[in-house]
Amino acid sequence: MAFELLNEPKDAATTDVLNPIFAEAIQLIRKSNPQRTIFVATGRWNSVQELPNLKLPADDQNLIVTLHCYEPFYFTHQGAHWSGDDTKVTGIRFPGPPDKPLVPDASLNVKPYVLDWIRRYNTLPTDQNPSSSRAFQSQITDAKEWSDYYGRPVHFGEFGCYDKADVESRVRFYRDCRTSLDRAGIAWAIWDWKAGFRYWDPQTKQPVPGMREALFTQPAK
């Protein structure tokens, strides 16, 4: 068993604000659990971009930095009811571009920068497309470089795709993200088991088709 100090700190709970709070919390935990591994999060929902602001206690090496990544966001969160009109655009595939351009429902109040994301999704080749592995690869690379430089392990504690995306695209996304993390030597966990980002289908009592292979089959050498 390990401890995690706080999941997805956000808003006023910035990395800079939490640094001294986490340091004090770690000291208190060590009084009763001197050998327990502790997971420490960055601000902005465990953001990779917050790693440069993170300050870990120098005298405690039994810490793991836990990060979350849901890029490309408008693919992974399409159809999500909690994110407003920007994620109500569905039919986004992974990777892009689509066979025919995606046209958002005119009744949706989609922000201009999201419309620009969709324009690029419709037109750019896969190696430049915003709905492709390039969206998360840069975050994995940055996390790996930070980990190597500071000698601190990192863990991608959440990645996933809401089940409103088509099954084939979800499988490709999970496969590409998982293999990118494996190549970087970074441990990972998905979100979630059988809810909206499901791995497991409770009706069939089996993994969603293709998901087991996407996450656990090693690529041919």
Q: Long-range pairs for 168-171 at CB < 8 Å and ≥24 separation?
A: 168/210, 169/75, 169/92, 169/93, 169/94, 170/94, 170/208, 170/210, 170/211, 171/209, 171/210, 171/211, 171/213, 171/214
Does 170 map to a domain? yes
Give me the tens of pLDDT residue by residue for the chain, a chain 221 residues long.
999 999 999 999 999 999 999 999 999 999 999 999 999 999 999 999 999 999 999 999 999 999 999 999 999 999 998 888 999 999 999 999 999 999 999 999 999 999 999 999 999 999 999 999 999 999 999 999 999 999 999 999 999 999 999 999 999 999 999 999 999 999 999 999 999 999 999 999 999 999 999 999 986 55
CATH number assigned to the domain comprising residue 146: 3.20.20.80
Does 155 map to a domain? yes
pLDDT of residue 84: 87
Does 82 map to a domain? no
Does 98 map to a domain? no
Does 178 map to a domain? yes
Domain count, the chain: 1
Give residue 182's domain range.
Answer: 3-73+135-216
pTM of the model: 0.95
Does 115 map to a domain? no
Does 198 map to a domain? yes
Does 87 map to a domain? no
